[in-house]
A = this chain, B = another copy of it.
Amino acid sequence: MDLVVTGSVGIDTIETPDEQRVENLLGGSCAYFAAAASFYTRPGIVAVVGSDFPAEHRALLEAFNIDTKGLEVREGRTFRWGGRYHENMDERDTLFTELNVLGGESPRVPPSYQEAPLLFLANAPPAVQHAFLQHFPRRELVVADTMNLWIQNEKEALLKLLKEVDGLVLNEEEAEQLTGLRNTVAAAKELLTYGPSFVVVKKGEHGCLFAHKEGIGALPAYPAERVLDPTGAGDTFAGGLLGFLAAKMNGTQMKKLTFDILKRALLHATIMSSFTIEAFSLDRLQRLTKGELAARVREYERMLHL
């Protein structure tokens, strides 16, 4: 196994600006990440769900060719999240968050996962993310996400974690909050001094900005005319990024990830998230063919060919 992700698998309720309310959607960072990564490799997920987790949701994950040995079922209710999007699709309100089984012990890591060189730590308390690393003695490249809550309440643990990771993905507000710098370029460069060898600032419809010791870069989003549900865009972005790296690099290369390989991986991250937002949950990725993916990658390359 080349790539393992840990984070949440849950059941989402989404309200869109046109008053549509959709319930019982498969969601969670692990689900989105792994679905995207599955276009490049067979990822393993480490997450916990409750005894109410629908069989069809598990079947869907497996249909993506995701290894679900690490998807632990525990007595109780599955993590549930509800969000309502504003008209511009850029802002959202959290309607509710029920941690349920996610509030308990960390899930077990299957022995077959433990040789994985590539890890993604989706948003979770930094101490939990940190503890996860001990299970992977052969890790070569670790990328982490985080959120405003941990920056505010668990900053010390987060800074400790950042010394152990190779890459950090976060959004603009988080980059500013963590560094105190209003300028996104300055914030991304500053974050390199915290430990990671690369930092990617996700800007939603405005693309991404990235800092690497070889330089600074920026890529636009794929111009999307119809955005139905942006949920999971950030996690599928990360899934495209790490999925691509898993497919293209061996262990030695990972430790010296170049600017050019990172940029190439970010192209795939960008395209993956552009599909996700076209439908609810994993609906669009479920229908996505390798041909459509390749065609959009080529279209985006042409768009940026100067």
Cβ-closest chain B residue relative to A302: B215
Which of B87, B222, B306 interacts with A263 by CB under 8 Å? B306
Cβ-closest chain B residue relative to A210: B223
Cβ-closest chain B residue relative to A215: B303
Cβ-closest chain B residue relative to A267: B306
**Distance of A175 from chain B, by nearest CB (Å):** 13
* Residues of the B chain whose Cβ atoms lie less than 8 Å from the Cβ of A89: 182-183
**Distance of A161 from chain B, by nearest CB (Å):** 26
Q: Are B185 and A207 in contact (CB under 8 A)?
A: no
Which of B87, B218, B300 interacts with A207 by CB under 8 Å? B218
Q: How many angstroms from the CA of A203 to the CA of B223 in the assembled complex?
A: 13
Q: Are B88 and A182 in contact (CB under 8 A)?
A: yes
Q: Assembly of this chain: how many copies?
A: 2
Which of B87, B185, B203, B264 interacts with A224 by CB under 8 Å? B185
Cβ-closest chain B residue relative to A221: B218
Question: By CB atoms of chain B within 10 A, which of A184, A227, A267, A304 has the most?
Answer: A304
Q: How many angstroms from the CA of A224 to the CA of B182 in the assembled complex?
A: 12
Q: How many angstroms from the CA of A223 to the CA of B185 in the assembled complex?
A: 6
A205 beta carbon closer than 8 Å to chain B = yes
A160 beta carbon closer than 8 Å to chain B = no
Chain A positions 209 through 236: 1 when the CB is less than 8 Å from some CB of chain B, otherwise 0: 1000001111111111111000000000
* Residues of the B chain whose Cβ atoms lie less than 8 Å from the Cβ of A220: 207, 209, 218-220
Cβ-closest chain B residue relative to A183: B225
**Distance of A206 from chain B, by nearest CB (Å):** 4
Q: Are A227 and B306 in contact (CB under 8 A)?
A: no
Q: Are A207 and B207 in contact (CB under 8 A)?
A: yes
Q: How many angstroms from the CA of A225 to the CA of B87 in the assembled complex?
A: 31
A301 beta carbon closer than 8 Å to chain B = yes
**Distance of A275 from chain B, by nearest CB (Å):** 15
A186 beta carbon closer than 8 Å to chain B = yes
A52-88 interface (Cβ within 8 A of B):
87-88
Q: Are B303 and A218 in contact (CB under 8 A)?
A: yes
Q: Are B209 and A218 in contact (CB under 8 A)?
A: no
Chain A positions 181 through 207: 1 when the CB is less than 8 Å from some CB of chain B, otherwise 0: 011111001000000000000010111
* Residues of the B chain whose Cβ atoms lie less than 8 Å from the Cβ of A184: 205
**Distance of A152 from chain B, by nearest CB (Å):** 20
Q: Are A182 and B87 in contact (CB under 8 A)?
A: yes
* Residues of the B chain whose Cβ atoms lie less than 8 Å from the Cβ of A264: 306
Q: How many angstroms from the CA of A145 to the CA of B98 in the assembled complex?
A: 49
**Given the interface contacts A183-B227, A185-B223, A224-B185, does A303 sit within 8 Å of B207 by beta carbon?**
no
24 pairs, A vs B, C-beta closer than 8 Å: A87-B182, A88-B182, A89-B182, A89-B183, A183-B226, A183-B227, A186-B226, A206-B207, A207-B220, A209-B220, A209-B223, A216-B225, A217-B223, A217-B303, A218-B220, A218-B221, A218-B222, A218-B223, A218-B303, A219-B220, A219-B304, A220-B220, A300-B306, A304-B306
Q: 9 more A-B contacts (CB under 8 A) besides A218-B222, A263-B303, A304-B304?
A: A185-B223, A186-B226, A206-B206, A216-B223, A216-B225, A216-B303, A217-B223, A217-B303, A218-B223
